[in-house]
Chain A
Amino acid sequence: MSPEVLSKLVNLLSFAALGLTVLLIVRIRLEGQVRAFGLQSFLLALLSALIAFYSGSFELLGVAVALVVVKVVTIPRVLNRAVANIGLSRVAAPYLGTAPALMICGLLTIIAFYVMTPIAASNPLPTADAMPLAFAGVLIGFFIMVNRRRAVTQILGFLMLENGIFLLALLATYGVPFIVEMGVFLDVLVAVLIMEVFVYHIKDNFDSIDVGELGKLKE
């Protein structure tokens, strides 16, 4: 596989991953959002496998497998359990409607391009061109955490932000050492499990998972 073909494939897959982040803004139902996250993690695993194949690194292949196990299988299952626990609930609308939120995503992507392109230009690896896209994923994940009021969607925003960081590391340096990756995965898994328990308790106490309601605790 030539570097050019790899570069183009990596660009395409990174775009698809970014598109799935944006989909989180568009989809309303929680099951759909969880599925989008699962799909995105799968794409990232595919990307890692591709780069592992290109660079002949077994470590990366292991990372890909771990990614599938943790983020495509386990975490979505945990989240689906949380969603099932919540059941139907009335939630407040996000702070910004869909159309302005989409515009802001476009704006954030442009900002990501502005910031990352000089950095990407000085990176000799063929995968470096897609770095702005990964950074855009980080920014958009952050925006989702700010914009949405449902706790589960905020968790998903955080997870996608984490995915973006993972992708950035992958593209910039073919991934960080295996031990570090595993540590991060473990952290994320534990965080999600804890958050699942919290969400259950929030729902139990306030009868809704609108994070804005937590403000009532101040009184």
Chain B
Amino acid sequence: MFTEIAIELFQLLLVAFGSPLLVGVIRKAKARLQGRRGAPIFQPYADIRKLFSKEVVVSENSSWIFRFTPYLLATTMLLAALIVPVLTTSAPLGFMGNIVALMYLFLLGTFFLALAGLDAGSAFGGMGSSREVAIAALAEPTVLIAIFGIALRAGTTSLDGIIIRFAAEPLLMLNAGHLLAFFAFFIVALAENGRLPVDNPATHLELTMIHEAMILEYSGRLLALVEWAAGMKLFLFLTLISNLFFPWGVALSNTPIALMIAFFALALKLLLFAGAIALLETAVAKLRLFRVPELLAGSFTVALLAVVTSFFLK
């Protein structure tokens, strides 16, 4: 009982404090691929700490929703960190929700962030909100069909159950439906977290922004919370993908050795994904906004194929 609470707490702290490191690693890898030296990988921690020490400037046109949203974003991410099986499949609070509930929890954050974008009354914020909810709405069918494909083969939608079931399947990597679902889910992860080719997280041109445009008005500790929450969302999505689709290393029991293996396995998987994202961001250009629905339609077709193959090629 006590060990399980300790493990849950450790998972929470890992997500909370590990996400800026993940962001730092991605930025460093991108810089190296672009021929620059890049900022040190611990830079995001320094950025967040600096932001916490600055005063908050709030628009006169905005309301309590603007000030409330960063706290809500951080809250939903921390709550999600309790549900996602980061290290182990027997997290005691994992019963709070299955994968469907997790997706809706993320959607709660998106709802309030979009409202906050509209709240300051600037055209950029409204534009960012409009684009963000459009992309989130078009990504939903892909996510849920991919979940359908997973649930078909695993026989359950509970995150723990899926990992246990997949870890026991020997030829998992050769299963076409599995890889298709992974591909679709990866594209959705890029869309939801505002990475290229959907959205450029490093752009300074307001007309090309989606996520950045919504948070343009934030400063001080509010901005720190928003950036932290965005990092946690990326961390959680990548953890979800690596543990669901490549379940080796996840601790199936709570022994110290299993947990240590899980920690290193997770670190390795996240490192590989960080490298992959950096490579992808360097190699592709941002899509025009009205080509993004085509990308999402493509990933939807892929996910649907994953489901169809699981039906027919059982």
Contacts and interface: CB of A to CB of B under 8 A. Distances in A.
A102 B301 contact: yes
Given A99-B293, A102-B298, A8 B174 contact: yes
B294 interface: yes
B301 A103 contact: yes
Interface in B267-314: 291, 293-294, 297-298, 301, 304-305, 308, 312-313
Interface in B128-187: 171, 174-176, 179-180
A11 B174 contact: yes
A97 B171 CA distance: 38
Interface residues of A, number: 21
Contacts of A12: 174, 176, 179
Contacts of A102: 294, 297-298, 301
Interface in A92-112: 97-99, 102-103, 105-106, 109-110
Contacts of A147: none
Interface in A1-55: 4-5, 8-9, 11-12, 15, 26
B301 A106 contact: yes
Nearest to A13: B176
A58 B233 CA distance: 53
B304 A106 contact: yes
Contact of B305 (A11, A26, A106): A106
Interface residues of B, number: 17
Interface string B90-127: 00000000000000000000000000000000000000
B297 A103 contact: yes
A8 B301 contact: no
A105 B301 CA distance: 8
Contacts of B174: 5, 8-9, 11-12
Contacts of A11: 174, 176, 313
Contact of A8 (B171, B291, B305, B308): B171
Contact of A26 (B180, B298, B312): B298
Interface of B: 171, 174-176, 179-180, 291, 293-294, 297-298, 301, 304-305, 308, 312-313
Given A106-B305, A132-B312, 18 more contacts: A5-B171, A5-B174, A8-B171, A15-B179, A15-B180, A26-B294, A97-B294, A98-B297, A99-B294, A102-B298, A103-B301, A105-B301, A106-B301, A106-B304, A109-B305, A113-B308, A117-B312, A129-B313
